[in-house]
Chains A and B, each alone.
Chain A
Amino acid sequence: MKHTFFSKFLTSRYSICCLGIFLIALSTSLRAENSTPNTAETDKALREIKSFLVTKLISMDAAAHDFVKNADAYEQLLDGYKGDYNRAAMERGPELMHLIAKMQEDYHGYHNNGYETIEGITAGSKNFVEYDNYLDAGVPKADASTDSPYSTLILKTKSGHIISDRNGNLFHYVNEPTLWGTKMQFIEKLNPAASEKLGIKYLPKPEVVTAAAQETARKIDELLAKAKVWQPTIDECVGALVWMTPTLNGYFDDWSASRYDPVAAAGRYVAESRVVDMRGIMSSLQIVCNAILPELRKKNPGLADQLKHEYEGIMSFIARVESRDKASGGKMSIAEIEEMAYQAKALTDQIAPHLKQMVQILGLKLPRKPTLA
């Protein structure tokens, strides 16, 4: 009798329902332990964030592989002259310049319009922080500290000669100085005739360019693959906002300091590059924030509106900084520079506590600040 009852129960729909409920409860409790449970709206927001990241990385990857192609062509061209840069410049100058320009364009593709626009997410997420350090943020080992770790990049030529041994990140310590000719060890000085012909004084060393291109493509491939399988959580995204937004303060400090730089050109370069950095970081953070706000709007619409305005305000402020700077021809008054830096700081001072407020209202678990440790 008993046996019949249990047999019936085990094969019945009830038992399947019970098993289903048990499994759902189990999976919910397991998820709850790791992160804040998601609503449908949150899931949508997270999908948007992931989709933004993957789309950006796909275009970066294309630029990186184009860099490989152009670097190979550049190397092939110079190989034909067996290391005689001057003769190559005199005989095939326009082709060389074209390839350099294309590689610089690639740099803008995977860095300025690429990595900089996703940095807010990568640097703010534990999953990707090592890539941020390797590609864009790591300092040379000699300058490293716990809060400012070194890049693990060890770059070698095809023949095994070391180009860079943990001496800073790939983008800013190798690619940029090579393509723009600012680091002597990565470039070759031209003689006056060749220099006059090309209109530049240095040519990048082909073995450095090809190694850098291969490494850039390899690392972005890896990052893309990782982003594709990434399962973002709401806590992780809010963490990126909380940790990355205040970094804007430092960029504005650098920007305002650069305006007093006695070497105008250098100052201008830093100022422009800081504006690019700021826009890049904030644009990705704005996307993350906008994706999360609908959830906050349900509980505190006023704060949600204000946060939206604040991120928009920062973006429009950055644009105004740039346009004022351009309109003044780089000769803004001291009072203007100081006021802009002051206003910028006031904006970030405002946004940081509002983000923490959001964390509290949504009952999120703010993750630890992502580090390499």
Chain B
Amino acid sequence: MKYPGHHFVACAVALLLAISTGHAALSGDFNTIEENLNEGLLDAYAGDTAKAQVSVSSQGIAALSSYCTDPESFRLIKEAEKSDLSLPARIGRQRALLQHIAAFEMLAAQRAGNISLAQQWRALISLPRFASEQDNTLLLQTTAAAAASPEVSRVLAREYLLWQSMRVRQILDFLHQQAGKGRATQEVVDAYSAEVKNLAHFPPALLQTAGIPPQTEVAMSTPQWKAGIEPDLQAQSIVEWREQVEATLPNLLSENDISRMQRLLARLLKIIPREYQNGVADKRIIVNLEYREAIQFTEKAQGLVNQLAPVWKQEHPEAYKKSHGEITSLLEKLAIRIPSLAAQTEIEERAAEVTKLLDKEFNITARRPGDKNDVIEETALEVRASLGSSLAAVQAEQWETAETLRMEAYTAFDSEIEPRILPRNPDLGHSAERSFLDGEEGARGIKLLIDRRAPMEEIQAAYERCINLLDQSVEVLKVSVSPTTITVTAFGIVSREGLEAVVILTALLAGLRGAEQTSTRRGIAQGAILALIATALTFWLSRTIITSLTQYGERLESVVSILAVIILLIVTNWVFHKFYWAGWNSRLRSLSKSATGVSPRWEWLALLGVGFLTVYREGFETALFLQSLLLEGNIQAVVLGGVAACFFIGGIGLLTFRYGVKLPYRKMLVFTGLLVVSIMVTFVGSTVRLFQTVGWLPIHPIPHLHLPNWVGLWFGLYPSWEGILIPFATLAYVGGAWLFTRWSSFRRQRRIEAEQTAPHPLAARI
């Protein structure tokens, strides 16, 4: 009994078997050809040409003919079989042409609606490092009709061109490295230059499918190679040849891609020295991951420069001609020096040189100059992107990466948004800043939660809060500030800092009354005047030099703050320790006396230094604050506010000194002393906060303690154990020292009294 259905089932089974056998056979044959070529190349490098020949010809590229349908594939097979080159070069050429054949066959199968075959050819194509090919994977997971559309052909062809352009650049990097390290041989150069030439020479039919206008044919030479010459020269010849190759590669980048890649490049150059610093110390790898990241980021930066090269060549031909070679060469040196564990300064210098060239020649920076609103918008985008990546890293439990990206986001926020928002809305500015760090009670910040490895939901909420505060800040900044507001703000800043200086100077001069102290007071006053000049100079220089130091932002501020704390501790000691105070007075008096007589130069310098340091610490801070304000408005408004504040402080200063001298000596001493102690506690608290910001101190929040932002601004107190305990410990130290001094003094007094009241031993004898 016959069933027609039986025939159908048998046919279907046979077809399925044929398809599945065909799949396995194509995949097997293709991989065998590639493997043979790879082995052949190794044999050729080992000097065994005969074995290499056998490896290559045992199953050659011709074996693919039975699987091919596209006429272009047959043409390429023919070309691959030519024996006009050296064996390594032939192998290189075949490796490249295999890729083009796979691409043509993938597109042919896709157009014909043979999805399964198209999938198979696509899987055979070699991918570059960091390929993100999964984006288009699902295009070939639909119905045959949907997958066969010309749009799918275009996307797949474009994707292929992108992959192979990346591979070309990666091979060029490899070849360049080999040449630079003196490891390349004639065979190596032959093989890889042939592979690059054939890979970069995309068949016009492929370009057409991808919707890219056909390139004008450019005759490509081979790199100049001479055995025995210096590695640097060999590397240089690869650089020169690379220029030709780059000129043939199609530009597949959109405007958005270019802008994103350029900024990424600048950012990578910022991160590389940081990663290196974390990973390497004293010529030793201390954290392998960080060290590897420094290498990887350098490779990525090289890749970006290569990808951007055709764009730069077109848009900035002069700058390209002048600097592209230098940038490539500097990055190459960086790539060589990192694995040889070079000194940190060298890595920093190299990265800084590239950054400078990018900025100067191509106007590329991590943050783009431009209209204020553009800058804010762009920075906000950048912060959001970094926070997004950081959250993704948290989700992948890559905590180190998450922290690095958080720090990046914070740096961007801190450099462009925070200085602008603080004068306008300090509460919002502080809340936003804290959301990157420890946050507040019930709304913990990102850093703290990353450090704690907190549950995902909690961390996610912290990122959302941070982005929300960022958005609010951006909204506030969209509204322009009037010049009057800027003048008033500048007045406030200069007055606040100036008053601090006046308080400390008052404390210093409180004990220096009388005509015999004139020269001492003059020395301190001269120091203070010098500090005012230095402050003005700092303000002017901060437009140039300090800007280049912004990458060290918080770290620099931390160092300055700790110096200020030390100065204040000394000042406090002067004020409260009777010994010191007395010593200081007598010292000043003696200095004064010597100044009227034969004053040695260093003693005059000491007086000058005291006045200078006291005022310049405030002046430096003021200069930096005013720079932030300048981002918001014009210089006239800022200068007006500053000058008005100077008159105001001058007046207060005059009054203080004039009437201060009329106050009883002891009262004056206690009053100014208390002021200095309160300023010192604020400084210590702010310094602790800075240390926590840059990761030099941990953050352990105090549960259920909520302090409003103004407490931090005015008293330097923040709700963490470190932020509360350290300032109070300092206060306890000063208080303890004062009590000790009082107690010692009291004991001494008692002893003297006892000695005075006790009968004289001689008297007893008498």
CA–CA, A353 and B42, complex, Å: 26
Does A31 make an interface contact (CB < 8 A)?
A: no
Instruction: Flag A128-144 by CB within 8 Å of B: 1 or 0 each.
Output: 00000000000000010
Does B240 make an interface contact (CB < 8 A)?
A: no
Evaluate contact between B133 and A305: CB separation under 8 angstroms: no
Instruction: Flag A356-371 by CB within 8 Å of B: 1 or 0 each.
Output: 1100110000001111
Binds A, one of B182-190, B408-416, B471-479: B182-190
Does A145 make an interface contact (CB < 8 A)?
A: yes
Evaluate contact between B46 and A368: CB separation under 8 angstroms: no
Instruction: Flag A300-343 by CB within 8 Å of B: 1 or 0 each.
Output: 11110110010001001000100010001000111110111011
Q: If the complex has contacts A305-B27, A338-B178, are A320 and B123 also in contact, measured as CB distance less than 8 A?
A: no
Does A147 make an interface contact (CB < 8 A)?
A: yes
Evaluate contact between B123 and A146: CB separation under 8 angstroms: no
Give which listed residue, A339, A346, A356, A369, contacts B45 with CB less than 8 A: A339
Evaluate contact between B123 and A369: CB separation under 8 angstroms: no
Evaluate contact between A305 and B24: CB separation under 8 angstroms: yes
Within 8 A of A (CB), among B488-540: none
Does B702 make an interface contact (CB < 8 A)?
A: no
Q: If the complex has contacts A309-B28, A346-B126, are A301 and B116 also in contact, measured as CB distance less than 8 A?
A: yes
Does B162 make an interface contact (CB < 8 A)?
A: no
Within 8 A of A (CB), among B109-135: 116-117, 119-124, 126-129, 131-134
CA–CA, A339 and B175, complex, Å: 11
Within 8 A of A (CB), among B23-46: 23-24, 27-28, 31, 35, 38-39, 41-42, 45-46
CA–CA, A294 and B133, complex, Å: 22
Within 8 A of A (CB), among B327-381: none
CA–CA, A147 and B188, complex, Å: 37
Does A108 make an interface contact (CB < 8 A)?
A: no
Evaluate contact between B185 and A335: CB separation under 8 angstroms: yes
- How far in angstroms is the closest Cβ of chain B from A234? 18
CA–CA, A14 and B399, complex, Å: 54
Give which listed residue, A335, A346, A368, contacts B395 with CB less than 8 A: A368
Residues of B within 8 A of A353 (CB): 127, 131-134
Evaluate contact between A356 and B27: CB separation under 8 angstroms: no
Within 8 A of A (CB), among B280-297: 286-290, 292
Give which listed residue, B23, B127, B395, contacts A302 with CB less than 8 A: B23
- How far in angstroms is the closest Cβ of chain B from A51? 26
Within 8 A of B (CB), among A286-306: 299-303, 305-306
CA–CA, A345 and B398, complex, Å: 23
CA–CA, A307 and B46, complex, Å: 30
Give which listed residue, A147, A324, A335, contacts B399 with CB less than 8 A: A147
Evaluate contact between B183 and A334: CB separation under 8 angstroms: yes
- How far in angstroms is the closest Cβ of chain A from B566? 31
Does B750 make an interface contact (CB < 8 A)?
A: no
A316 — nearest CB in chain B belongs to which residue?
B35
Q: If the complex has contacts A148-B287, A338-B183, are A309 and B27 also in contact, measured as CB distance less than 8 A?
A: yes
Evaluate contact between A357 and B399: CB separation under 8 angstroms: no
Evaluate contact between A302 and B46: CB separation under 8 angstroms: no
Does B137 make an interface contact (CB < 8 A)?
A: yes
CA–CA, A324 and B55, complex, Å: 15
Q: If the complex has contacts A353-B134, A357-B133, A357-B137, are A302 and B31 also in contact, measured as CB distance less than 8 A?
A: no
Q: If the complex has contacts A305-B120, A353-B132, are A332 and B141 also in contact, measured as CB distance less than 8 A?
A: no
Evaluate contact between A343 and B289: CB separation under 8 angstroms: no
Does B425 make an interface contact (CB < 8 A)?
A: no
Give which listed residue, B119, B127, B174, B178, contacts A300 with CB less than 8 A: B119
Does B397 make an interface contact (CB < 8 A)?
A: yes
| Chain B interface residue count, Cβ-Cβ cutoff 8 angstroms | 55
Give which listed residue, A147, A250, A332, A340, contacts B398 with CB less than 8 A: A147
Give which listed residue, B23, B28, B39, B400, contacts A147 with CB less than 8 A: B400
Residues of A within 8 A of B124 (CB): 302, 306
Evaluate contact between B183 and A309: CB separation under 8 angstroms: no
- How far in angstroms is the closest Cβ of chain A from B360? 35
CA–CA, A143 and B289, complex, Å: 12
- How far in angstroms is the closest Cβ of chain A from B149? 19
Instruction: Flag B11-28 by CB within 8 Å of A: 1 or 0 each.
Output: 000000001100110011
- How far in angstroms is the closest Cβ of chain B from A290? 14
Does B396 make an interface contact (CB < 8 A)?
A: yes
Evaluate contact between A340 and B123: CB separation under 8 angstroms: no
Does A28 make an interface contact (CB < 8 A)?
A: no
- How far in angstroms is the closest Cβ of chain B from A341? 10
Evaluate contact between B400 and A335: CB separation under 8 angstroms: no
| Chain A interface residue count, Cβ-Cβ cutoff 8 angstroms | 44
A373 — nearest CB in chain B belongs to which residue?
B453
Residues of B within 8 A of A356 (CB): 134
CA–CA, A302 and B137, complex, Å: 12
CA–CA, A277 and B205, complex, Å: 45
Evaluate contact between A302 and B397: CB separation under 8 angstroms: no
Residues of B within 8 A of A300 (CB): 116, 119, 123, 140-141
Evaluate contact between A302 and B183: CB separation under 8 angstroms: no
CA–CA, A373 and B292, complex, Å: 22
Evaluate contact between A369 and B396: CB separation under 8 angstroms: yes
Does B138 make an interface contact (CB < 8 A)?
A: yes
Give which listed residue, B35, B127, B290, B400, contacts A313 with CB less than 8 A: B35
Evaluate contact between A145 and B289: CB separation under 8 angstroms: yes
Evaluate contact between B45 and A336: CB separation under 8 angstroms: yes
B287 — nearest CB in chain A belongs to which residue?
A145
Does A354 make an interface contact (CB < 8 A)?
A: yes
A307 — nearest CB in chain B belongs to which residue?
B123
Most buried by A among B20, B119, B188: B119
Residues of B within 8 A of A333 (CB): 45-47
CA–CA, A47 and B161, complex, Å: 42
Does A261 make an interface contact (CB < 8 A)?
A: no
- How far in angstroms is the closest Cβ of chain A from B123? 4
B292 — nearest CB in chain A belongs to which residue?
A250
Instruction: Flag A100-140 by CB within 8 Å of B: 1 or 0 each.
Output: 00000000000000000000000000000000000000000
Residues of A within 8 A of B398 (CB): 147, 369
Give which listed residue, B27, B138, B183, contacts A335 with CB less than 8 A: B183
CA–CA, A338 and B184, complex, Å: 9
Evaluate contact between A335 and B141: CB separation under 8 angstroms: no
A299 — nearest CB in chain B belongs to which residue?
B141
Residues of B within 8 A of A299 (CB): 141
Residues of A within 8 A of B453 (CB): 373
CA–CA, A357 and B122, complex, Å: 12
B135 — nearest CB in chain A belongs to which residue?
A360
Residues of B within 8 A of A360 (CB): 134, 137-138
Does A222 make an interface contact (CB < 8 A)?
A: no
Residues of A within 8 A of B396 (CB): 368-369
Residues of A within 8 A of B23 (CB): 301-302, 305
Does A349 make an interface contact (CB < 8 A)?
A: yes
Evaluate contact between B46 and A336: CB separation under 8 angstroms: yes
CA–CA, A184 and B19, complex, Å: 63
Does A350 make an interface contact (CB < 8 A)?
A: yes
- How far in angstroms is the closest Cβ of chain B from A251? 12
Instruction: Flag B142-182 by CB within 8 Å of A: 1 or 0 each.
Output: 00000000000000000000000000000000100010000
Interface residues of B (CB under 8 A from A): 19-20, 23-24, 27-28, 31, 35, 38-39, 41-42, 45-47, 116-117, 119-124, 126-129, 131-134, 137-138, 140-141, 174, 178, 183-185, 187-188, 286-290, 292, 395-400, 453
Interface residues of A (CB under 8 A from B): 143, 145-148, 250, 299-303, 305-306, 309, 313, 316, 320, 324, 328, 332-336, 338-340, 342-343, 345-346, 349-350, 353-354, 356-357, 360-361, 368-371, 373
A-B interface, 9 closest residue pairs, ranked by CB to CB distance from nearest? A302-B120, A306-B123, A302-B119, A305-B27, A335-B45, A146-B399, A147-B289, A373-B453, A302-B123
Q: Kindly list 7 other residue pairs between chains A and B, CB separation below 8 angstroms, not including A305-B123, A350-B126.
A: A147-B289, A299-B141, A302-B123, A305-B28, A324-B46, A338-B188, A339-B188
| Interchain Cβ contacts under 8 Å between A and B, 14 examples | A147-B398, A148-B288, A148-B289, A299-B141, A301-B116, A305-B23, A324-B42, A335-B188, A338-B183, A339-B42, A339-B45, A342-B174, A368-B397, A369-B398
